[in-house]
Amino acid sequence: MKTRISRFTVHDDLSAPEASQPILKGALAGAGQLPNFLGVLGGSPAALRGYTRFRAELRHGSLPVITLERISLAVAEHFGSEPGLQLHRRVARHAGLALDDIALAREWDALDETDAILLRYLKELVVSHTTPPEHLHEEARERGWTEEQLLEAIAFASLECFTAMVNVAGDVPLDGSHEHDRQLRAA
Protein backbone atom coordinates (compact mmCIF):
# COMPACT_ATOMS: atom_id res chain seq x y z
CA MET A 1 0.00 0.00 0.00
CA LYS A 2 1.37 3.40 -0.99
CA THR A 3 1.17 6.13 1.64
CA ARG A 4 -0.01 9.53 0.47
CA ILE A 5 2.45 12.37 0.53
CA SER A 6 1.21 15.79 1.56
CA ARG A 7 1.28 18.56 -1.01
CA PHE A 8 2.49 20.83 1.79
CA THR A 9 5.54 20.12 3.91
CA VAL A 10 4.64 18.36 7.15
CA HIS A 11 6.96 20.23 9.49
CA ASP A 12 8.13 19.18 12.90
CA ASP A 13 9.33 21.43 15.69
CA LEU A 14 12.81 21.62 14.10
CA SER A 15 12.01 22.10 10.39
CA ALA A 16 9.23 24.69 10.71
CA PRO A 17 9.87 28.41 10.29
CA GLU A 18 11.34 29.85 13.47
CA ALA A 19 8.16 31.72 14.41
CA SER A 20 6.16 28.45 14.32
CA GLN A 21 8.58 26.40 16.40
CA PRO A 22 7.42 27.44 19.91
CA ILE A 23 3.79 26.60 19.11
CA LEU A 24 4.71 23.26 17.56
CA LYS A 25 6.97 22.41 20.51
CA GLY A 26 4.10 23.18 22.88
CA ALA A 27 1.71 21.00 20.89
CA LEU A 28 4.26 18.19 20.77
CA ALA A 29 4.82 18.37 24.53
CA GLY A 30 1.08 18.24 25.17
CA ALA A 31 0.19 15.44 22.76
CA GLY A 32 3.38 13.40 22.47
CA GLN A 33 3.07 13.39 18.68
CA LEU A 34 2.50 16.33 16.40
CA PRO A 35 -0.65 15.95 14.27
CA ASN A 36 0.13 16.20 10.55
CA PHE A 37 -2.37 19.06 10.23
CA LEU A 38 -0.40 21.19 12.72
CA GLY A 39 2.84 20.19 11.02
CA VAL A 40 1.47 21.49 7.73
CA LEU A 41 0.07 24.64 9.31
CA GLY A 42 3.51 25.25 10.84
CA GLY A 43 4.62 26.30 7.36
CA SER A 44 2.76 29.57 7.94
CA PRO A 45 3.43 31.12 11.35
CA ALA A 46 0.53 33.56 10.92
CA ALA A 47 -1.96 30.81 10.01
CA LEU A 48 -0.70 28.62 12.87
CA ARG A 49 -0.98 31.46 15.41
CA GLY A 50 -4.45 32.40 14.18
CA TYR A 51 -5.65 28.80 14.30
CA THR A 52 -4.27 28.08 17.78
CA ARG A 53 -5.64 31.32 19.23
CA PHE A 54 -9.09 30.78 17.71
CA ARG A 55 -9.19 27.14 18.90
CA ALA A 56 -7.98 28.13 22.40
CA GLU A 57 -10.72 30.72 22.77
CA LEU A 58 -13.43 28.33 21.61
CA ARG A 59 -12.28 25.72 24.16
CA HIS A 60 -13.55 28.12 26.83
CA GLY A 61 -16.97 28.37 25.22
CA SER A 62 -20.28 27.06 26.45
CA LEU A 63 -20.94 24.25 23.96
CA PRO A 64 -20.76 20.65 25.23
CA VAL A 65 -17.91 18.48 23.92
CA ILE A 66 -20.34 16.01 22.36
CA THR A 67 -21.98 18.84 20.41
CA LEU A 68 -18.59 20.04 19.18
CA GLU A 69 -17.69 16.52 18.05
CA ARG A 70 -20.95 16.19 16.15
CA ILE A 71 -20.19 19.47 14.37
CA SER A 72 -16.63 18.31 13.64
CA LEU A 73 -17.83 15.01 12.18
CA ALA A 74 -20.41 16.72 9.96
CA VAL A 75 -17.90 19.22 8.60
CA ALA A 76 -15.16 16.61 8.05
CA GLU A 77 -17.63 14.40 6.17
CA HIS A 78 -18.85 17.33 4.06
CA PHE A 79 -15.32 18.18 2.94
CA GLY A 80 -14.15 14.56 2.69
CA SER A 81 -11.37 15.17 5.22
CA GLU A 82 -10.01 11.73 6.10
CA PRO A 83 -7.72 13.03 8.87
CA GLY A 84 -10.65 14.94 10.38
CA LEU A 85 -12.93 11.93 10.25
CA GLN A 86 -10.29 9.68 11.79
CA LEU A 87 -9.60 12.10 14.64
CA HIS A 88 -13.20 12.99 15.41
CA ARG A 89 -14.51 9.42 15.28
CA ARG A 90 -11.94 8.55 17.95
CA VAL A 91 -12.63 11.63 20.09
CA ALA A 92 -16.41 11.24 19.74
CA ARG A 93 -16.25 7.61 20.91
CA HIS A 94 -14.10 8.68 23.86
CA ALA A 95 -16.65 11.42 24.67
CA GLY A 96 -19.42 8.82 24.77
CA LEU A 97 -21.05 8.94 21.34
CA ALA A 98 -22.31 5.59 20.06
CA LEU A 99 -21.43 4.41 16.55
CA ASP A 100 -24.95 5.06 15.24
CA ASP A 101 -24.83 8.63 16.57
CA ILE A 102 -21.43 9.15 14.93
CA ALA A 103 -22.95 7.99 11.63
CA LEU A 104 -25.86 10.40 12.07
CA ALA A 105 -23.53 13.31 12.89
CA ARG A 106 -21.73 12.74 9.60
CA GLU A 107 -25.13 13.39 7.95
CA TRP A 108 -25.83 16.58 9.97
CA ASP A 109 -28.19 14.75 12.33
CA ALA A 110 -28.18 13.39 15.88
CA LEU A 111 -30.12 11.08 18.17
CA ASP A 112 -30.33 14.03 20.56
CA GLU A 113 -33.01 16.30 19.07
CA THR A 114 -31.45 19.45 20.57
CA ASP A 115 -28.16 18.79 18.77
CA ALA A 116 -30.02 17.67 15.64
CA ILE A 117 -31.68 21.08 15.39
CA LEU A 118 -28.34 22.85 15.79
CA LEU A 119 -26.76 20.64 13.12
CA ARG A 120 -29.58 21.34 10.66
CA TYR A 121 -29.10 25.06 11.32
CA LEU A 122 -25.34 24.84 10.66
CA LYS A 123 -25.80 22.67 7.58
CA GLU A 124 -27.53 25.56 5.83
CA LEU A 125 -24.43 27.70 6.34
CA VAL A 126 -21.74 25.12 5.59
CA VAL A 127 -23.32 22.99 2.86
CA SER A 128 -25.84 25.29 1.21
CA HIS A 129 -23.98 28.57 1.86
CA THR A 130 -27.29 30.23 2.59
CA THR A 131 -28.94 32.03 5.46
CA PRO A 132 -30.61 29.41 7.66
CA PRO A 133 -34.38 29.69 7.31
CA GLU A 134 -36.09 31.63 10.08
CA HIS A 135 -37.88 28.51 11.31
CA LEU A 136 -34.51 26.77 11.97
CA HIS A 137 -33.30 29.79 13.92
CA GLU A 138 -36.53 29.84 15.94
CA GLU A 139 -36.40 26.06 16.53
CA ALA A 140 -32.85 26.35 17.82
CA ARG A 141 -33.80 29.16 20.19
CA GLU A 142 -36.95 27.34 21.37
CA ARG A 143 -34.90 24.21 22.01
CA GLY A 144 -32.69 26.20 24.37
CA TRP A 145 -29.73 27.27 22.25
CA THR A 146 -28.73 30.77 23.34
CA GLU A 147 -27.50 33.47 21.00
CA GLU A 148 -24.03 33.00 22.52
CA GLN A 149 -24.12 29.27 21.76
CA LEU A 150 -25.35 29.77 18.21
CA LEU A 151 -22.52 32.22 17.55
CA GLU A 152 -19.99 29.81 19.10
CA ALA A 153 -21.38 26.97 16.98
CA ILE A 154 -20.95 29.08 13.84
CA ALA A 155 -17.41 30.02 14.89
CA PHE A 156 -16.54 26.40 15.66
CA ALA A 157 -17.98 25.19 12.35
CA SER A 158 -15.89 27.79 10.52
CA LEU A 159 -12.74 26.62 12.33
CA GLU A 160 -13.53 23.02 11.39
CA CYS A 161 -14.13 24.12 7.78
CA PHE A 162 -10.67 25.73 7.76
CA THR A 163 -9.11 22.56 9.18
CA ALA A 164 -10.86 20.36 6.62
CA MET A 165 -9.94 22.68 3.75
CA VAL A 166 -6.24 22.54 4.68
CA ASN A 167 -6.41 18.75 5.01
CA VAL A 168 -8.11 18.38 1.62
CA ALA A 169 -6.06 21.02 -0.26
CA GLY A 170 -2.82 19.61 1.09
CA ASP A 171 -3.85 15.98 0.74
CA VAL A 172 -2.60 15.73 4.32
CA PRO A 173 -1.95 12.11 5.27
CA LEU A 174 -3.53 10.46 8.28
CA ASP A 175 -1.70 11.01 11.54
CA GLY A 176 1.06 8.49 12.07
CA SER A 177 1.58 7.85 8.35
CA HIS A 178 4.17 10.64 8.01
CA GLU A 179 6.25 9.19 10.82
CA HIS A 180 5.95 5.71 9.29
CA ASP A 181 7.22 7.04 5.92
CA ARG A 182 10.11 8.84 7.59
CA GLN A 183 11.13 5.64 9.37
CA LEU A 184 10.97 3.67 6.11
CA ARG A 185 13.19 6.22 4.33
CA ALA A 186 15.69 6.14 7.20
CA ALA A 187 15.93 2.33 7.13
H helices within the chain, ranges in order?
A: 21-31, 36-41, 45-59, 65-79, 82-95, 99-105, 113-126, 134-142, 147-169, 177-186
Count CA atoms within 13 Å of residue 68 on its CB side: 18
Which segments of the chain belong to CATH 1.20.1290.10? 65-169
CATH topology of domain 65-169: AhpD-like (1.20.1290)
Smallest CA-to-CA distance from 163 within 61, 55, 57, 14 is with 55
Q: What is the mean pLDDT of each run of 10 residues along the chain (187 residues)?
A: 75 93 90 88 97 95 97 98 96 96 98 98 96 96 98 98 96 71 42
